[in-house]
Structure 1
Amino acid sequence: MFDIIVWGGAALSVAGLAGLVWCILRVMKARKAGLPDDELRATVQGVLPWNMGALFLSVIGLMMVILGISLG
């Protein structure tokens, strides 16, 4: 039973980590493109909600792993 919580949490953490890497790559690509300051700022503001969502997903996954290990 608790194995499912641990592995589900690990999957959520990996998904969150992938989202964070995607956010980093997207902003790096925008910076290397040499966009003007306004367009770069708009790109970063567009990525920010995705970044926060990925971070939240990763934290929830890690909480599930800790909970599954503690209870199991």
Structure 2
Amino acid sequence: MPPWYQKAIQLQGQPVGVSLANGQGISGLLCSISGGTVVIQEYLYQNQFAAKQYPFAAIQDINPFPGCYVPSPVY
């Protein structure tokens, strides 16, 4: 299994950022990991989403979204 696999198993159903082996990055909801494929639901535009499949070999790393830092209101 790839080095990111165990981390990604725990992130199913969560928003993630994915580093692809080709240098691109994507983000979305990690739907499933099975059969050598990762399924990410990505936002397209307006109210459209697409579930896209990525083979393990195309993925360099998967990371959870960080929490939001909300500073005190500025008036």
- Structure index of larger Rg: 1
| Structure with more strand by fraction | 2
The answer to whether the superposition gives a TM-score over 0.5 is no
Which structure has more relative contact order (CA 8 Å, sep 6+)? It is 1
What TM-score does the superposition give when structure 1 sets the normalisation length? 0.22
